[in-house]
């Protein structure tokens, strides 16, 4: 107190206290936080509303509007996507004048009718905008959503239900869709699972059995089974296609589609809050659990979630033992000197190598060399069709493990060196060998640190895309890497990945504007998945840390 009152030089005290530097550090943190929050905010704000049912406007344009109604006619219906200001020439009494005009973007659906997904309309061109209660939003297998007025429903037995007359129409329509969806699942099961299995067996017999009578007999039997299943599927499909729905698009086009094309429907302008929440949750669920449709721009992304999860898990299984063993040798056994120091520097530098380089290495080493070798050795019957000699989930996981191993090594080394010397000496003094000491004392005490390394490795590995494109990720994988077919875990299979899915949707899709909501939703999901994996690892780490807390030191 005394000293500060005597010191009258303000500037000196400020500099001495280092306050400008405190502010600087605080500013740095704030900037970082703002960027992270901003990014997450954008993703959240764009990703979550994708699932919320929006109102569908029926828009009637003035005669002579600049942008005509898509598909002809006077009006169209669509969800409002965004409003933006544009400087466009407007015809006035004195000629064309450049003015700022509001331009509205609508998602119009009905791609089969209009040929486009979006309509851009100037506000001045709009005659009227209405929210018709009886408009339906129908989700279809192909051509995306349709915003239409249903006219009638023809059931499989030929009964015709007029939408305008019969008040039962919505519930009957819903029943028909439900029945068709059940049939679709059944057909899917037959075609994918059973026929797939028989195909695999036939293929196997052809390769292994050659031309022997026995195998030819078996093949004939299997082919008979195949024929039966295929005809079952055909019958089911016919049954599914029997019922039909006829509807009218807002521009007057009338179209009839089999119910089998319909996935679901709702009346967007006639929903209560709870119905909206129900549809919201249903949409999220079908996004999470469904298979992708239409070049991935519609449907769910379950295979990508599953692929990402399995690959990250495989990577963790590979990277932890590898990294931990290397770290133990470097810290406990190797003679500390120039060699170990340079190895350590090399390991740290490895973390800075561009990931695509790891991808190229993975392709050359794992896929062509190791995989090719495995194929020649174990799967020579199947050649020239590669089994392991092509990209697959195992090679992708190993490539990423190689990429993230420096993180684990560094974290493990730090954890090992943090184990108190007294504890190691205590163990040795009890007559334990060095390896027993490492195994029973050092490793358990460094598990929390090792898990920290694993968390960092997972966060990096799960979000990585570039190397995966070379070693096994695909746009659309026909089957999951783990399924009910023997041997259940198929490490050689190609897989889908959320990160690649984002890239593919956003930049490789034929309709990237239409895929934009999916890109945001997928990004959000990838972030959620990484966060979930991390939280799990952190949870385990905290429990272990409590167990091995070395409070005595």
Partner 1 sequence: MNHESAMSETSPNSLSHSSSATENSAASEENLRSDYIKICNFNFFYGSKQALFDISMDIPEREVTAFIGPSGCGKSTLLRNLNRMNDLIDGVRHEGDVIVNGQSIYDPHIEVISLRKRIGMVFQKSNPFPKSIYENIVYPLRVAGQNKKSVLDETVERSLKGAALWEEAKDRLHDSALGLSGGQMQRLCIARAIANRPEILLMDEPCSALDPIATAKVEELIHSLKKDFTIVIVTHNMQQATRCSQRTAFFYLGKLIEFDITTKVFGNPSQKQTEDYITGRFG
Q: Footprint of partner 1 on this chain (CB under 8 A)?
A: 335-336, 420, 422-423, 425-433, 436, 440-441, 444-445, 547-553
549: left (phi over 0), alpha (psi -120 to 50) or beta: beta
Closest to partner 1 by CB, 151 or 540: 540
485: which 2 tokens?
A: 């077919």
Closest to partner 1 by CB, 433 or 536: 433
Closest to partner 1 by CB, 422 or 478: 422
Name the minimum Å distance from CB 433 to partner 1. 5
Name the minimum Å distance from CB 430 to partner 1. 4
Closest to partner 1 by CB, 65 or 432: 432
370: which 2 tokens?
A: 């190791």
Name the minimum Å distance from CB 330 to partner 1. 15
Name the minimum Å distance from CB 223 to partner 1. 59
Beta carbons of 87 and 102 less than 8 angstroms apart:
no
Name the minimum Å distance from CB 538 to partner 1. 20
Distance of alpha carbon 138 from alpha carbon 107, whole angstroms: 14
Name the minimum Å distance from CB 418 to partner 1. 13
Closest to partner 1 by CB, 18 or 422: 422
50: left (phi over 0), alpha (psi -120 to 50) or beta: alpha
Composition of the chain by helix, strand, coil, percent to 5? 60, 15, 25
Name the minimum Å distance from CB 552 to partner 1. 6
- The secondary structure of residue 440, as a DSSP letter, is I
Name the minimum Å distance from CB 206 to partner 1. 55
Closest to partner 1 by CB, 7 or 425: 425
Closest to partner 1 by CB, 46 or 436: 436
Distance of alpha carbon 237 from alpha carbon 226, whole angstroms: 16
Give buried/exposed letters for 26-53 (b at 16+ CB in 10 A, else e): eeeeeeeeeeeeeeeeebeebbeebbeb
CA distances (Å), origin 411, targets 397, 398, 404, 407, 455 = 20, 19, 11, 6, 10
How many other C-beta atoms lie within 10 A of the C-beta of residue 449? Answer: 22
Closest to partner 1 by CB, 312 or 437: 437
Closest to 526 measured CA to CA, from 506, 545, 540: 506
What's phi and psi for 70, nearest 5 deg?
-60, 135
Label the pairing between strands 160-162 and 298-299. Answer: unpaired
């Amino acid at each position: 107190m005394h000293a500060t009152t005597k010191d009258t030089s303000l500037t000196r005290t400020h500099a001495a206290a280092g306050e400008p530097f405190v502010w600087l550090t605080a500013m740095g943190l704030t900037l970082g936080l703002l960027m992270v929050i901003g990014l997450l905010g954008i993703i959240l704000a764009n990703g979550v509303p994708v699932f919320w049912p929006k109102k569908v406007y029926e828009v009637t344009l003035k005669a002579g509007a600049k942008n005509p109604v898509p598909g002809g006619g006077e009006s169209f219906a669509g969800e409002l996507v965004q409003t933006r200001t544009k400087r466009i020439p407007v015809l006035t009494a004195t000629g064309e004048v450049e003015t700022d005009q509001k331009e509205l973007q609508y998602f119009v659906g009905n791609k089969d009718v209009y040929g486009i997904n979006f309509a851009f309309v100037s506000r001045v061109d709009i005659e009227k905008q209405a929210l018709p209660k009886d408009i339906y939003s129908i989700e279809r297998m192909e051509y995306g959503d349709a915003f239409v007025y249903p006219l009638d429903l023809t059931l499989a037995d030929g009964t015709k239900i007029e939408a305008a007359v019969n008040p039962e129409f919505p519930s009957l329509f819903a029943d028909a869709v439900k029945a068709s969806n059940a049939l679709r699942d059944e057909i899917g099961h037959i075609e994918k699972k059973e026929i797939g299995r028989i195909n695999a067996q036939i293929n196997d017999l052809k390769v292994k059995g050659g031309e022997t009578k026995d195998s030819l007999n078996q093949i004939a039997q299997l082919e008979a089974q195949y024929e039966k299943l295929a005809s079952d599927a055909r019958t089911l499909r016919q049954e599914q296609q029997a019922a039909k729905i006829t509807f009218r698009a807002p521009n007057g086009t009338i179209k009839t589609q089999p119910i089998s094309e319909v996935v679901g429907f709702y009346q967007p302008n006639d929903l209560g809050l709870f119905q909206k929440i129900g549809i919201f949750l249903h949409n999220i669920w079908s996004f999470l659990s469904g298979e992708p449709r239409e070049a991935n721009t519609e449907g769910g992304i379950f295979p990508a979630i599953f692929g990402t999860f399995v690959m990250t898990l495989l990577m963790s299984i590979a990277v932890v033992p590898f990294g931990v063993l290397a770290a133990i040798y470097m810290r406990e056994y190797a003679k500390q000197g120039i060699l170990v120091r340079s190895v350590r520097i090399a390991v740290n530098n490895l973390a800075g190598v561009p990931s695509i380089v790891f991808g190229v290495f993975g392709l050359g080493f794992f896929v062509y060399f190791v995989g090719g070798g495995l194929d020649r050795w174990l799967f020579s019957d199947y050649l020239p069709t590669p089994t392991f000699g092509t990209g697959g989930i195992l090679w992708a996981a190993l490539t990423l493990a190689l990429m993230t191993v420096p993180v684990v090594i560094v974290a493990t080394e730090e954890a090992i060196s943090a184990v108190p010397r007294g504890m190691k000496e205590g163990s040795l003094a009890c007559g334990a060998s060095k390896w027993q000491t490492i195994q029973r004392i050092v490793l358990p005490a460094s598990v929390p640190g090792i898990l920290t390394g694993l968390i960092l490795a997972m966060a990096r590995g799960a979000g990585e895309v570039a190397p995966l494109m070379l070693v096994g990720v695909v746009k659309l994988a026909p089957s999951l890497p783990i399924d009910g077919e023997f041997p259940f875990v198929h490490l050689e299979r190609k897989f889908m990945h959320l990160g690649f899915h984002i890239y593919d949707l956003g930049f490789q899709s034929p309709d990237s504007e239409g895929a934009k909501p999916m890109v945001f939703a997928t990004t959000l999901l990838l972030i959620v998945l990484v966060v979930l994996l991390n939280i799990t690892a952190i949870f385990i780490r905290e429990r272990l840390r409590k167990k091995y807390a070395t409070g005595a030191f």
